[in-house]
C-alpha cells in the first residue's frame, strides 16, 4: 500500500511539473520572450547606465598580455569570469565592446533559462511571466554591473531547469550534471559553496524522507560531489600549468580573507532603499513559505517545489556577504522570479470561493511589477552618451595624459581602486607585474613589500595619483613612503574624477 501511495504521489508531482498547453499559447509565449529579450538587450546596449570595471575589461586584457592570475594579478575571487572573457578577446578585441556583449549575453541566457524553468513547472504563460519579472527587476538588482554574480545567475537558473525536487530517485547522469553546474559556479565565485552544500543537504533530506538505504544516499552524494569537483580540479590544473604553483590561488581565494581584516573593513550594511526594493520584489516569498508549509501538512507533493525554490533562493543570496550591494544579489533574482510565478500559478488553481481574490491579487502584483519595469527602462533609446561607470570618465583623462608622456614610458596608479584601474587599459599601458588594489585589506606588510620590490625591479617613469583617492594611501603606508621618496609632482590634470597629479621618477 505504501508503495502504491508513493507511486501515486510521484505521478502527481510529475503531472504538476510538466503541464501541457495548446500550440497557440506556446507560440505566443515564445513571441513574448523574443520581445523581452530584444527590449532588454537594446536597453542595456544603448541606453541604460552600466558599470564595467577592471575585472571585466583590464584584467582579461592583462591575461592576454601574459599576466598570471594570482601571481601577478591579485584577485580574491574564483578565476572563471576574467578567464572566460579573455578567451573571447580574439573574437572581439575591443574590451568595452566585449564586456557589453558578455553582459547582454548573460542577461539573455538568464532570462531564457528563467522562462524555461517556470514553463517546466507551470506552463508557457507562467514561463513568460517569470521572464518578464526578471527583466522588470534586473536593473534594480544591479544587473547593470557586470560582475561574477552575473555569471552565477544563469547557472542558478539552469539548476532550476535541472532540479526535480519531487522525485524520490534521480539518475546518476542527472546528479552528475547538477553537481557539475554547482562546480562551475564554484569556479565563478567561492560563495557558490553554499549552493553546492544546499543541493547536497536537500537531496540527502529527500532520500531520508523516502527511507532510502544509506548506501544509496552515499552514492548519490558522491555523484553530486564528483560532478562539483570536476570544474574545480580543472581550474586548479589550469592554474598549475600556467603558473607552476597553486600557492597564490590558494592564498588569495581561500586564506587571505581570514589572514587580513577583510571581513570587517569591507563590510557594508543594507540601506533603507535596498531593503524596500527587496520587500517589494519579494512580496510573494512569505506566501510561498506559508503555502509550502500548508501543502506539506496536507501531504501535497507540490510543497517540495516551493520548498526547493525558497531553499535555493536563500543559498543564492550568500553572495551578499560581507558587502551588501544589490548587484551581489543578482543570482537570487531568477530564483525569485521562478518562485513568484509558481506561487501565483498555484494561487490561481485554488477553490472557486478563493479564485476571485487570487485573480485580483495576481493582477495587482503584476501591474505593480510592470510599473517597476517601466520605471527602470524609462530612459529613451538613443539618447547619447550611454554612461559606463569605471570607464567613461577615464577616457578623456587618458587622452590628456597621453599628450604628456611618451609611448615608451610606463605608469603606476597609486592609490588604485576599481573606479580608476581601467585607465591602464585606456592608456594601453600595463601596471607593474604585481597588480593589487589599494584597499585596506591588502595592507599587510608582506603585500606592501611585494609591491615595493616590484616597483624597484622595474620602476615606472610616472605615478598617477587621484586626489579623490588619497584616503586609500593611509592603508598602505610603506608604499606611500616609497612613492613620496622616489617621485616628484610635475603636473596637475583636471578630470571628471577631480584633480589628477602626475609624479615623475627622481633620477
Residue ending a domain, choose from 345, 376, 407: 376
Asked if residues 344 and 126 have their Cβ atoms less than 8 Å apart, the reply is: yes
**Structural domain of 475:** 391-505
Residue with cell 544509496: 216
Q: What is the pLDDT of residues 377-399, one digit of tens each?
A: 765 454 567 899 999 999 999 99
Measure the CA–CA gap between 488 and 184, rounded to whole angstroms: 47
Residue ending a domain, choose from 376, 409, 443: 376
Residues 345 and 266 in one domain: yes
Burial of 251 (0-12, 13-18, 19+ CB in 10 A): middle
User: Does 271 fall in a domain?
Assistant: yes
Average pLDDT, the chain: 90
Residues 349 and 396 in one domain: no
User: Does 440 fall in a domain?
Assistant: yes
Measure the CA–CA gap between 39 and 36, rounded to whole angstroms: 5
Residues 128 and 249 in one domain: yes
Residues 318 and 404 in one domain: no
Residues 53 and 161 in one domain: yes
Residues 228 and 353 in one domain: yes
Residues 288 and 256 in one domain: yes
User: Does 383 fall in a domain?
Assistant: no
Measure the CA–CA gap between 139 and 326, rounded to whole angstroms: 9
Residues 406 and 304 in one domain: no
User: Does 238 fall in a domain?
Assistant: yes
Residue ending a domain, choose from 376, 400, 419: 376
Q: What is the pLDDT of residues 153-162, one digit of tens each?
A: 999 999 999 9
Residues 321 and 402 in one domain: no
Overall domain count for the chain: 2
- pLDDT at residue number 65: 97
Q: What is the pLDDT of residues 106-121, one digit of tens each?
A: 999 999 999 999 999 9
User: Does 385 fall in a domain?
Assistant: no
Residues 371 and 401 in one domain: no
* Residues 231, 55, 325: CA angle, nearest 5 degrees: 95
Q: What is the pLDDT of residues 47-75, one digit of tens each?
A: 899 999 999 999 999 999 999 999 999 99
User: Does 344 fall in a domain?
Assistant: yes
Residues 366 and 476 in one domain: no
User: Does 9 fall in a domain?
Assistant: yes
> Residue 334 above 90 pLDDT?
yes
Residues 442 and 362 in one domain: no
- pLDDT at residue number 355: 55
**Is the whole-model pTM more than 0.85?**
yes
| Mean pLDDT to the nearest integer, 196-224 | 89
Amino acid at each position: 500500500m505504501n508503495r502504491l501511495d508513493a507511486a501515486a504521489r510521484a505521478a502527481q508531482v510529475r503531472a504538476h511539473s510538466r503541464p501541457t498547453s495548446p500550440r497557440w499559447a506556446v507560440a505566443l509565449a515564445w513571441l513574448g520572450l523574443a520581445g523581452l529579450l530584444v527590449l532588454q538587450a537594446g536597453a542595456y546596449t544603448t541606453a541604460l547606465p552600466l558599470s564595467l570595471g577592471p575585472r571585466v575589461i583590464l584584467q582579461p586584457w592583462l591575461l592576454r598580455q601574459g599576466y598570471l592570475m594570482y601571481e601577478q594579478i591579485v584577485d580574491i575571487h574564483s578565476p572563471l569570469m576574467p578567464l572566460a572573457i579573455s578567451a573571447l578577446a580574439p573574437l572581439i578585441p575591443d574590451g568595452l565592446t566585449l564586456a557589453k556583449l558578455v553582459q547582454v549575453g548573460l542577461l539573455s541566457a538568464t532570462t531564457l533559462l528563467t522562462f524555461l524553468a517556470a514553463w517546466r513547472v507551470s506552463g508557457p504563460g507562467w514561463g513568460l511571466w517569470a521572464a518578464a519579472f526578471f527583466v522588470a527587476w534586473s536593473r534594480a538588482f544591479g544587473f547593470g554591473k557586470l560582475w561574477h554574480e552575473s555569471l552565477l545567475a544563469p547557472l542558478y537558473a539552469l539548476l532550476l531547469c535541472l532540479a526535480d525536487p519531487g522525485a524520490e530517485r534521480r539518475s546518476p547522469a542527472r546528479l552528475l550534471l547538477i553537481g557539475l553546474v554547482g562546480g562551475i559556479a564554484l569556479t565563478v565565485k567561492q560563495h557558490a559553496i553554499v549552493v553546492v552544500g544546499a543541493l547536497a543537504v536537500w537531496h540527502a533530506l529527500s532520500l531520508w524522507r523516502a527511507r532510502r538505504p544509506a548506501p544509496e544516499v552515499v552514492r548519490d552524494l558522491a555523484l553530486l560531489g564528483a560532478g562539483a569537483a570536476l570544474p574545480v580540479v580543472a581550474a586548479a590544473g589550469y592554474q598549475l600549468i600556467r603558473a607552476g604553483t597553486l600557492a597564490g590561488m590558494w592564498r588569495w581565494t581561500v586564506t587571505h580573507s581570514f589572514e587580513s581584516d577583510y571581513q570587517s573593513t569591507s563590510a557594508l550594511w543594507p540601506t533603507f532603499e535596498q531593503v524596500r526594493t527587496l520587500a517589494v520584489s519579494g512580496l510573494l516569498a512569505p506566501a510561498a513559505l506559508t503555502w509550502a508549509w500548508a501543502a506539506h501538512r496536507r501531504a501535497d507533493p507540490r510543497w517540495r517545489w516551493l520548498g526547493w525554490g525558497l531553499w535555493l533562493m536563500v543559498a543564492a543570496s550568500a553572495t551578499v556577504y560581507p558587502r551588501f550591494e544589490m548587484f551581489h544579489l543578482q543570482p537570487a533574482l531568477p530564483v525569485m522570479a521562478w518562485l513568484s510565478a509558481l506561487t501565483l500559478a498555484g494561487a490561481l488553481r485554488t477553490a472557486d470561493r478563493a479564485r476571485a481574490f487570487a485573480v485580483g491579487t495576481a493582477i495587482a502584483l503584476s501591474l505593480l511589477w510592470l510599473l517597476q519595469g517601466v520605471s527602470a527602462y524609462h530612459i529613451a533609446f538613443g539618447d547619447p552618451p550611454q554612461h559606463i561607470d569605471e570607464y567613461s570618465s577615464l577616457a578623456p583623462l587618458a587622452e590628456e595624459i597621453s599628450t604628456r608622456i611618451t609611448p615608451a614610458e610606463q605608469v603606476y596608479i597609486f592609490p588604485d581602486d576599481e573606479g580608476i584601474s581601467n585607465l591602464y587599459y585606456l592608456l594601453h599601458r600595463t601596471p607593474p607585474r604585481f597588480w593589487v588594489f589599494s584597499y585596506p585589506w591588502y595592507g599587510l606588510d608582506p603585500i606592501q613589500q611585494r609591491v615595493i620590490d616590484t616597483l624597484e625591479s622595474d620602476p615606472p617613469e610616472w605615478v598617477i595619483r587621484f586626489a579623490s583617492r588619497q584616503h586609500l594611501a593611509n592603508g598602505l603606508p610603506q608604499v606611500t613612503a616609497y612613492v613620496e621618496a622616489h617621485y616628484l609632482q610635475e603636473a596637475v590634470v583636471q578630470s571628471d574624477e577631480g584633480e589628477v597629479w602626475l609624479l615623475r621618477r627622481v633620477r
